Amino acid sequence: MKRTTPISEIMTTEVVTLNVADRLETAEKLFKKYKIRHIPVVKDKAVLGMLSYTDLLRISFADVSDDETSIDAFVYDMFSIQQVMARNLFMVAPNSTIKEVAELLSKKEFHALPVVEDNELVGIVTTTDLINYLIAQL
């Protein structure tokens, strides 16, 4: 395992994104459709924030049932993506090393980082990506 391997080798490049005008109901559908837990919120390709499935669960009853109910829709309509998303993000460059990213994720309370180059989203790296990389090395 090389300590200098860039994160670009393991990051996801086809990133599902949201914009601030999207509804939280749309976010929930994307989380379920793609079986993901983090979605960057962007304007054009600039990252404004990150919405996690956990953020959505905090304000909804989505964990109680997979059925779409009027209660979920009502709760979702009370909040905007901008109100729920995390704003003060750590971001990494594609040439950041896997070691650097692993150290950052191990010390913070989040599990995904946007990968940004020239102020544009080029990927996302998650703790799952890191675990899969480590498994492949064994």
Per-residue model confidence as pLDDT tens for the chain (138 residues): 677 899 999 999 999 999 999 999 999 999 999 999 999 999 988 999 999 999 988 887 544 455 555 546 667 888 999 999 999 999 999 999 999 999 999 998 889 999 999 999 999 999 999 999 999 988
pLDDT at res. 4: 86
pLDDT at res. 78: 86
Q: Whose CA is closest to 29, among 85, 76, 71?
A: 76
Q: Is residue 2 part of a domain?
A: no
pLDDT at res. 58: 85
Which residues form the domain of 112?
7-137
Q: Is residue 45 part of a domain?
A: yes
Please count the structural domains in the chain: 1
CATH code assigned at 84: 3.10.580.10
Q: Is residue 75 part of a domain?
A: yes
pLDDT at res. 72: 60
Q: Is residue 1 part of a domain?
A: no
97-114 burial, b if ≥16 CB within 10 A, otherwise e?
Answer: ebebbbeebeeeebebbb
Phi, psi of 136 (to 5 degrees): -65, -25
pLDDT at res. 77: 80
In this prediction the pTM is 0.87
Q: Is residue 121 part of a domain?
A: yes
